[in-house]
Structure 1
Amino acid sequence: MAKSLGPVKRKFSPWTEPSATPFIRFEDITKRYGDFVAVDNLTLDIYEREFFSLLGPSGCGKTTLMRMLAGFEEPTSGRILLQGKDLSGTPPYKRPTNMMFQSYALFPHMSVEKNITFGLEQDGLAKADIAARVEEMLKLVKLESFAKRKPAQLSGGQRQRVALARSLAKRPKVLLLDEPLGALDRKLREETQFELMDIQHTLGLTFLIVTHDQEEAMTVSDRIAVMDKGVVMQVATPAEIYEAPNSRYVAEFIGDINILECSMVGQPRPSLLAGHPPHTTLDSQGLMIGVEQDCKAGVGEQVAFAIRPEKVRISLDPPADGTANAVHGEVWDIGYLGDFSVFLVKLDDGRILRAAQANVSRLVDRPITFGDRVWLTWSVDAGLVLTR
């Protein structure tokens, strides 16, 4: 049985079922603007009721991909399927999707309820049905008492919820969110992320969000597609993306990480513990590192060893565990972030490693400070060998 890499939000993983049919399928999609390739021969499956994130830096192709699904752009080649139907040639207003833009695009002269009503009236719904739908949406986003206000009379978070209610009012099969929380301050953004998750679970819709914010994607998503230069680098759950990145690009893009250049000096050998993966030995400029991983690289090949700062223990005392990886150095800098502290430790060969320590109490008997000689240690299963 595969080792669990972290908690999941819910018991929902259709992508692990061989018989599951994708709700949305991007099939061999390429999008060119002249000589520039925005999306490069990309294939990606998204499942019904999934909260899926496209994550990457500006210019990686994530927004272009979403706009093609919405019908605002047409692929240069390839096709997009929704519930098995090819969307080629289908205009945006006939697609069962709706998009919530970063700017919210609310009508400033209309009240909250009129903003929500507008799209329903365009669709020709009966007045009674419109009234019931608007009441339902206002209740869903907790804005019942703000129905008569204009957008200018609302906070940024309230305007965001109005835009969400308007997008959901037409009951799309897929809600597309283009950097929807970018205009909110950090605290409100974090609160709204959980509200989005609750609404998505309540309605049972498929949400596709485009974001460059790693924490946002990690918080809301069932799965994440990390993109770079029009290509999907990895698709996995947030825990898998963080704990088992498949490349240096993904490892460095998601969170903080230490990466040491190494060469293979020992082929994987059986673990001393039953049921554990084989051990691999690496040489990083004289620092010997043991890794509990079956690495496919051969002896002498160049690889990278990656380890998250929170998995590196820092101590003034030598390690008591003789089986742990250990290295000596000097505290070069300290970042105090409230809930935890980050220590930059300069090794004797000049390299810098980061160690993160939770501030679990207000008082520390032997505080670690600038200039201290310290030991950094980590277990054989804490890091990861990357071959690309």
Structure 2
Amino acid sequence: MRHVLGAVRRAFQPWNDPAARPFIEFRGITKRFGDFTAVDDQTLTIYEREFFALLGPSGCGKTTLLRMLAGFEQPSDGSILLEGRDLSAVPPHRRPVNMMFQSYALFPHMSVENNIAFGLKQDRLPNAEIRERVAEMLRLVKLEGFAKRRPDQLSGGQRQRVALARALAKRPKVLLLDEPLAALDRKLREETQFELINLQETLGLTFVIVTHDQEEAMTVADRIAVMNQGRIVQIATPAEIYEAPRTRYVADFIGSVNIFGGTVEGRAEGAVTLAGEDGMRLRVANADAGQEAGRSAWVAVRPEKIRIAHEPPAERERNAVEGEVWDIAYLGDMSIYNVRLASGKIVRASLLNAARSVERPITWEDRVWLSWADDAGVVLAD
């Protein structure tokens, strides 16, 4: 996964404003299916015009949260509020939300324009208004010339746009997206991610997306809730999730990471020092307080923050270790080096290929030194 810091494109941070009121609130939400607890007593706030991502592996509870907001599932405990209104007694078709499904669920016998118009006809809108909205949606998703085609005459990306247009045609206050890009190939998926960002900003709507794709969440979202086993383990901006994960689970789930175990020796001048594996001395600057001497701890370091060289660094007494190049992956824009330490632990370092050359000064079975700055690592809570 490339180092993507996502939606740092705008100064939109209502969650840091004490006066801002949440648009969507999950209060103590629990959802049980028999003996299985899919969502376990979770509280979450989402703000108006936010692009919010629920991220996690299959079975973590993210889609269940989305379906409860849509009204397709009822909470076992807790409440869901939209603009301060409790939605528990509001049926799905009366909620000001619309959902775009992973399968798109287009009607195969209907044309593009009739698919988009379906919900509007169900709401018995005047024909003139339906035609106007359909034309507006076709312009919005850039499918003006495809109105008469059926879904089987479209590409996967075009079908995805039709489903998006149909979901937006009813002008919901909140658009729910359940793995909306999963069926697209990688290149088209990347292009569509930016189209979603631009569309969300143009319309000024609140988007809530469910995905298991870390890079997708990092690209589109203002904030991400990382979930595991029915619980939210961290909510933060993409940059904070990547650069300052709180736990080993979050660090390992988001992108590629090296995690070193160690024992805290002490704390001085805002930095924590640890005795680490393979004889390493670790020093982490700007670490949170509360790291007691003698306590076991974990340090996360991203591959792109690790320097790799034949010669040892000048300050080899900390954040430095020697190993052997075990494997190399050339990815065009960067090279990935897997370095085997004396203990057998594999440490990954990445190096940008800035020069136009296929020659690599470091190759297989070379003895190399890995090192990183004091502020490159993060001490994890557990």
Written as runs of structure 1 = structure 2, the 5 A alignment for 1:182-331 is 182-266=182-266, 268-270=267-269, 278-285=270-277, 286-292=279-285, 293-320=287-314, 325-331=319-325
| CA–CA distance in structure 2, aligned partners of residues 311 and 28 of structure 1 | 39
For residue 362 of structure 1, report the CA deviation from its aligned partner: 2.3
For residue 317 of structure 1, report the CA deviation from its aligned partner: 2.0
* Runs of 5+ consecutive residues of structure 2 not aligned to the other structure: none
Contact (CA 8 Å) 1:175, 1:207: kept in 2 or not?
yes
Instruction: Report what 1:377 is aligned to.
Output: 371
Residue type matched to 1:299 in 2? A
Deviates more, 1:250-259 or 1:326-335: 326-335
Deviates more, 1:215-224 or 1:323-332: 323-332
Contact (CA 8 Å) 1:297, 1:387: kept in 2 or not?
no
* SS of corresponding position for 1:381: helix
| CA–CA distance in structure 2, aligned partners of residues 32 and 253 of structure 1 | 25
Deviates more, 1:151-160 or 1:287-296: 287-296
- Match among 331, 337, 357 for residue 331 of structure 2: 337
Deviates more, 1:344-353 or 1:149-158: 344-353
Relative contact order higher in (CA < 8 Å, ≥ 6 apart): 2
* SS of corresponding position for 2:21: coil
List per-residue Cα deviations over 1:264-301 (Å, max 9, x = no partner).
Answer: 012x211xxxxxxx121111132111110244121110
Change (3 A) 1:238 1:252: same
| CA–CA distance in structure 2, aligned partners of residues 312 and 248 of structure 1 | 19
Contact (CA 8 Å) 1:6, 1:240: kept in 2 or not?
no
Q: Is the counterpart of residue 354 in structure 1 residue 353 in structure 2?
A: no
For residue 7 of structure 1, report the CA deviation from its aligned partner: 7.1
Change (3 A) 1:13 1:234: same
For residue 323 of structure 1, report the CA deviation from its aligned partner: 7.6
For residue 387 of structure 1, report the CA deviation from its aligned partner: 2.6
Instruction: Report what 1:144 is aligned to.
Output: 144
Once the two structures are aligned, what percentage of the paired residues are identical?
66
Residue type matched to 1:361 in 2? A
For residue 39 of structure 1, report the CA deviation from its aligned partner: 0.4
Residue type matched to 2:255 in 1? G
Residue type matched to 1:351 in 2? K
* SS of corresponding position for 2:78: strand
| CA–CA distance in structure 2, aligned partners of residues 146 and 28 of structure 1 | 45
| CA–CA distance in structure 1, aligned partners of residues 357 and 166 of structure 2 | 50
Contact (CA 8 Å) 1:54, 1:211: kept in 2 or not?
yes
* SS of corresponding position for 2:320: strand
Aligned residues: 376
| CA–CA distance in structure 2, aligned partners of residues 199 and 380 of structure 1 | 41
Instruction: Report what 1:15 is aligned to.
Output: 15
| CA–CA distance in structure 1, aligned partners of residues 303 and 47 of structure 2 | 34
For residue 325 of structure 1, report the CA deviation from its aligned partner: 2.3
| CA–CA distance in structure 2, aligned partners of residues 151 and 180 of structure 1 | 16
Instruction: Report what 1:129 is aligned to.
Output: 129
For residue 366 of structure 1, report the CA deviation from its aligned partner: 5.8
* SS of corresponding position for 1:177: strand
Contact (CA 8 Å) 2:7, 2:218: kept in 1 or not?
no
Deviates more, 1:28-37 or 1:293-302: 293-302
Instruction: Report what 2:380 is aligned to.
Output: 386
Contact (CA 8 Å) 1:295, 1:385: kept in 2 or not?
no
Contact (CA 8 Å) 2:257, 2:301: kept in 1 or not?
yes
Alignment TM-score, normalising by the size of structure 1: 0.94
Instruction: Report what 1:274 is aligned to.
Output: none
For residue 335 of structure 1, report the CA deviation from its aligned partner: 1.4
- Kindly report structure 1 stretches of 4+ aligned residues shifted beyond 3 Å: 320-324
* SS of corresponding position for 1:375: strand
Residue type matched to 2:355 in 1? S
